[in-house]
Amino acid sequence: MAELKLPKIDLKELARQKRRNQRERMAFVEWYAKQIAEGKA
């Protein structure tokens, strides 16, 4: 079977990305909710 050349996953970095993505998404949710509240969306 051919040898797989897969990347090594840095779990600490992945966990950091996951937390950052969650913060970014919440910021977008809040921004969009304010747009609606202000009649801009």
Partner 1 sequence: MEVRFEGRDAIILRPETELDRFVKEFVSILEESGIGYVLVSGYVAILFGRSRNSEDVDILVENVDFGRFERFWKKACKSMDCINAENPKRGFEDYLSDSLALRFSRKSKPIPNMEIKFAKTELDEWTIANAANATLNGYVLKVSPLELQIPYKLYLGSFKDIEDARHLWLVTKSHLDNQMLDSFIGQLGVKKEAAKWLS
Q: Taking CB under 8 A as the rule, does residue 38 contact partner 1?
A: no
Question: In this chain, which of 30, 33, 34, 41 binds partner 1, going by CB under 8 A?
Answer: 41
The two structure tokens encoding residue 26: 């919440």
Q: Over 1-41, what HEC string results?
A: CCCCCCCCCCHHHHHHHHHHHHHHHHHHHHHHHHHHHCCCC
Pair of tokens at residue 31: 């921004």
- Candidate list 14, 37, 38, 39; residue touching partner 1; CB under 8 A: 14
Among residues 6 and 37, whose Cβ is nearest to partner 1? 6
Q: Binding partner 1 by CB under 8 A: which of 9, 12, 37, 38?
A: 9
